[in-house]
Amino acid sequence: MLPFLREAYANPSSVHQFGQSVRHRVEVAREQVARLIGAAAKEIVFTSGGTESINLAIRGALSARRWTGAGSRPRRILTTAVEHSAVLRVLEVLEADEWIIDTIGVDQDGRIEEAEFAAKLADDTALVSLIHANNETGVVFDVARLAGIAADRGIPVHVDAVQSVGKLPIDVTDWPVQFVSMSAHKFHGPKGTGALYVRRRARISPLIHGGGQERGLRGGTENVAGVVGMGVAAETATSDHAETAHRVRALRDRLEGGILSSIPFAHVNGRGAERLYTTANIGFEGLEAEAILILLSEARICASAGAACSSGSLEPSHVLKAMGIDERIAHGAIRFSLSRFSTTEEIDHVVATLPGLLSRLTALSMNR
């Protein structure tokens, strides 16, 4: 990224040689990101991150629909009860604008019933939005099958794959979906850069109007350094995915097994479902997540309560509520996030340190 902050700082939309050399690197990055998900380069639109990609997909898809005939306008959007807040907040705004939001529940392991999904699709459903891998529990939805049900009804589908791109093998040619949101920092690229996959011939309108960048779908001069960094991160994720997945899954299992064997009131949320190997959501019954996080931080262990962007809330996460997790467990739920940089020594440090920290909290709660 550094050369594009220091020397190659030209505007990629400029026609002169300086600008076109930078444009070339933007297009190389577009190809790198496209290869990560099996797309064509022209189907990748660069954004400022996952949240903007989600907004562009949902609001852009609805804005682009062409309505014909009196009373024929679809007014429903189908989603799940465990979506990321970036999706939920957009849908709240649309609901205030008289869109009808249909929500599918999940079971205690965070899974969707296909039959309920199919039953919820209506003749006036305009869009389906599904998360691929849950950001709190790591539970993975079979979006290929679910999207296929929607496709049979001619309903476009957006997939929030922010957590899964770069970690799970994804080939959009196998997914009958129109839009896939992703974010660079979730696979070790720079924060503040993301992308939206827009299937060829999918209908979508821009949110940001300007100079016609990104095929007219996202106005504004590109963040070249961020885009280049995202491309390199995508290429790295593509090249070492299988080895990383095997090693990090073993670390996650070591972490969960160590905690469960030493702490009898620990519960792994979503354990019975297919899960992303980088996420462990563990509830400590009878304790408060915020207190646990403070002590973990003092021990130089970084974790979060639910989604990182909503940490600080005293309420259990909406995801665990939707799963029907007992409140005494949900209030004490911690998310541990692993990556290809995680080590066995780090995992063992957590397993060795955590019981003592929780004993302190248990003693304090008993003395109240």
Q: Which of 309, 324, 326, 364 is catalytic?
A: 309
In angstroms and rounded to an integer, the radius of gyration of the C-alpha atoms of the chain is 22
77 - beta bridge partners? Answer: 101, 127
Kindly tell me the number of DSSP H helices and DSSP E strands found in the chain: 12, 10
CB atoms near residue 153 (< 10 Å): 12
Closest to 80 (Cα-Cα) out of 137, 122, 141, 25:
141
Q: Which residue has the tokens 């792994």?
A: 268
DSSP assigned state of 310: G
Angle at 84 between CA 61 and CA 245, to 5 degrees: 105
179 - beta bridge partners? Answer: 158, 198
The answer to whether 355 touches 115, Cβ cutoff 8 Å, is no
Q: Which residue has the tokens 């929030």?
A: 160
**Which run of H or of E encompasses 17?**
helix 17-37
CA–CA separation, 19 vs 249, rounded Å?
Answer: 43
Q: Report how far apart the first and last C-alpha atoms of the chain are (Å, whole number).
A: 53
Tell me whether residue 344 is exposed, middle or buried, using C-beta atoms within 10 angstroms of its C-beta: 0 to 12, 13 to 18, 19 or more: exposed
Tell me whether residue 247 is exposed, middle or buried, using C-beta atoms within 10 angstroms of its C-beta: 0 to 12, 13 to 18, 19 or more: middle
C-alpha torsion 323→295→304→320, nearest 10: 10
The answer to whether 55 touches 182, Cβ cutoff 8 Å, is no
- In residues, how long is the chain? 368
309 in catalytic set: yes
Show which residues are catalytic: 309
